[in-house]
Amino acid sequence: MKIKDGRFAVYGNPLTESQSRKVIKWQNMFVKKFSYNPDEQYTLSLVDNPYLGSVLGLKDIVRHDRGEEIAQENVVVISTIRMGFGHYRIAMAGASCARAMGFTPLWLDLLAIPGITTDVINWCNTWYSRFSRLSQRSKLFNKYVWESVTTGESTLPGLNAFLNTWIVGWPWRFLKTNVKDYKMSELFKNLHQALPRDIPVLTSHMWNCMGAVAAGMTNVVDMMFDNWPMAFQLTEGAKHGVQSPSGYYGFRVMRGFDETGKVMNPVPSDAIYYVGHHVDHEIVTNIEADCEARLRRMNDNEPRRFLLPMGGAGAQRELFKAIIEHCIPLIKSDSVALFVNLGDHKDNWDWLQSELAQYEDLVQTHFTWDDTQAFADGLRTNPATGLHVFLFDNTFHAVYATNYLMRVVDVMITKPSELAFYPVPKIFNERVGGHEMWGAIRGAELGDGTVETRTIPQTLQAIDLLTHEHDLLEMYCDCIIKNKRIGIYDGAYKCVELATGRKFPSRPAQSRPLNTER
């Protein structure tokens, strides 16, 4: 972040004086609201992660001095927050690949560090979740407000300008939102200054990245999310790992980041890299074996296994109900086995339990990680039947259960969120926010998922096709294997390489991301 002619500027692109004043006003609102102390000191240490420490080798960064001292050698800080589940999922991919490359991943969740970070992010997350749910309950709000906020494109510019200003704020795509987020994230710099300045850091959310850069950290790589370039994801002073070539171009030229349509100064080529999809090491290395198992089950006429994960905001109840009711007769006839991961949304289990009261004999519950892991491991060699519901009391297991289960299912039914980038055959149901549309486009063009099925009947049609026919599943598995060979799923490895300077000689495929040889 630089100052140009008295105005904030990003990569040489200045805001207006009015926008710059509003950015300062936004930062001051948090300063006053949460009594920010610019001289606050943080003492940090390490403890074993109680949830996935044994699975991913995680150590948690905590705010006290009773844990292990933070070393700088052979470690990578994995910095994330819960804003939905996608940012946690990206961070887990980074941790998995860092561990495979010989590093200890140090988990830094800004919501787990008491102080200004938790105050500010919880405030923002509350509003984000509220609007996400509202977008699923109100087609009018979704079409005329939420879609435009999450893409920067609108069908009714005058109305959207009013609603975005007074209800949501600035659309995420525009540069003024980038500076607004950066100035907010400056308040997190005291926390990051408690870490070694040049320790390798992978971030899975721009606020983590911005806070680290604001603190003067010099070795920060942002594992970028989605497939629709939006200005608020950029952090001048960091390196950016982009998941698709189209995303790379959009960020490189800052396409559409000025609301007047002005052509902008590009992002320097040494600040942005096309790396591929951010996927866990365990999933990437087993792609061939898992696809072979899918085709074997298909040819043996075993029940088709569908995984239906609920997102972190807990939206789309109506869709979940319709999918489950459609699958009930297929489950009874042993045509389908359905796995529903409710994450950590206990209120949604209370709701679903009442909806499924007449099918109680079909439902099997899995409410602990040990039970889930044992169940999934058993499915590698045994057939699957029935309706299985998964629920957890923490975000780690809520997110990672989907990653673990996807290796033993045939098809995943998901909105085109961060799961759109994972190498498993997918049915893309309706998006939550316009930015997610481009995740479905990416998956459909790569051949590992359907196009976005934007209505419930379209989603149910896709379920029927993938249950009773063979051609789609065969095609998706074939494309996934080919994608692996050319490095499509190597993004997390490449981000670790960018942060540490260490190459991974046994990476599953030799991809050729742009700029990595600089």
Q: Which residues contact 35 (CB under 8 A, 6 or more apart)?
A: none
Q: What is the mean pLDDT of residues 13-35?
A: 94
Position 379 pLDDT exceeds 80: yes
CA dist., res. 378 & res. 376, Å (int): 5
Count of CB atoms within 10 A of residue 79's CB? 30
| Shared domain check, 300 and 358 | yes
Share of the chain above pLDDT 70, in %: 88
Same domain? 266 vs 358: no
Residue 460: Cβ within 10 Å count = 18
The full DSSP string for 111-151 is GGSTTHHHHHHHHHHHHHHHHHHHHHH-HHHIIIIIHHHHH
User: Rounded to 5 degrees, what are φ and ψ at 115?
Assistant: 140, -155
Q: How far is CA 306 from CA 231, 360, 374, 409, 501, in A?
A: 36, 19, 18, 6, 39
Is residue 234 within 8 A of residue 181, CB to CB? The reply is: no
* 424 and 288 in a common domain: yes
Q: What is the pLDDT of residue 432?
A: 80
Instruction: For residues 256 and 382, state if they share a domain.
Output: no
Q: Which residues contact 242 (CB under 8 A, 6 or more apart)?
A: 224, 248, 251, 272, 273, 274, 275
Q: Is the pLDDT of residue 516 over 50?
A: no
- Rounded to a whole number of angstroms, the CA Rg of the chain reads 22
User: For the residues 78-101, what does the mean pLDDT come to?
Assistant: 95
What is the model's pLDDT at position 318?
87
> Is residue 196 located within the same domain as residue 300?
no
What local confidence, expressed as pLDDT, does residue 72 receive? Answer: 87
And the tokens for 410? 């045939």
Burial of 40 per CB tally in 10 Å (0-12, 13-18, 19+): exposed
Do residues 246 and 296 share a domain?
no
DSSP run (H or E) holding 457: helix 456-468
Is 270 in the same domain as 339? Answer: no
Q: Note whether 366 and 262 are same-domain residues.
A: no
The CATH number that applies at residue 471 is 3.40.50.2000
pLDDT at 210: 98
Q: Quote the pLDDT of residue 518.
A: 33
Q: pLDDT category, 393, cuts 50, 70, 90? A: very high
pLDDT of residue 83: 83
Rounded CA-CA distance 92/368 in Å is 19
Q: Do 10 and 123 belong to one domain?
A: yes
**Residues 236, 286 within the same domain:** no
DSSP 389-420: EE--SSHHHHHHHHHHHHTT-SEEEE-SSGGG
Two tokens at 448?
A: 């590992």
Would you say 415 and 364 are in contact if contact means Cβ atoms under 8 Å apart?
A: no
* pLDDT recorded at residue 5: 74
The predicted pLDDT at position 8 comes to: 94
Can you give the length of the chain in residues? 518
Residues contacting residue 340 through CB under 8 Å, at least 6 positions apart: 308, 309, 310, 320, 324, 352, 387, 388, 389, 390
Does residue 90 contact residue 226 with C-beta atoms inside 8 Å?
A: no
Tell me the mean pLDDT in the region 333-356: 94
In tens, the pLDDT along 216-261 reads: 999 999 999 999 999 999 999 999 999 999 999 999 999 999 988 9
Please give the structure tokens belonging to residue 148.
């435009």
In this predicted structure, the answer to whether residue 53 has a pLDDT above a threshold of 60 is yes
Please tell me whether residues 229 and 298 are part of one structural domain: no
5 and 112 housed in the same domain: yes
H/E element holding 466?
Answer: helix 456-468
- The total of structural domains in the chain comes to 2
Query: So what's the pLDDT on residue 164?
Result: 44
Quote the domain boundaries for residue 410. 281-485
CA distances from 215 to 96, 128, 504 (A): 26, 26, 29
Higher model confidence: residue 300 or residue 164?
300
Both structure tokens of 195: 């870490």
Per-residue pLDDT reduced to its tens digit, 110-161: 999 999 999 999 988 776 565 565 655 666 655 655 455 555 555 455 444 4
DSSP secondary structure of 51-76: TTHHHH--EEEESSSSSB----TTEE
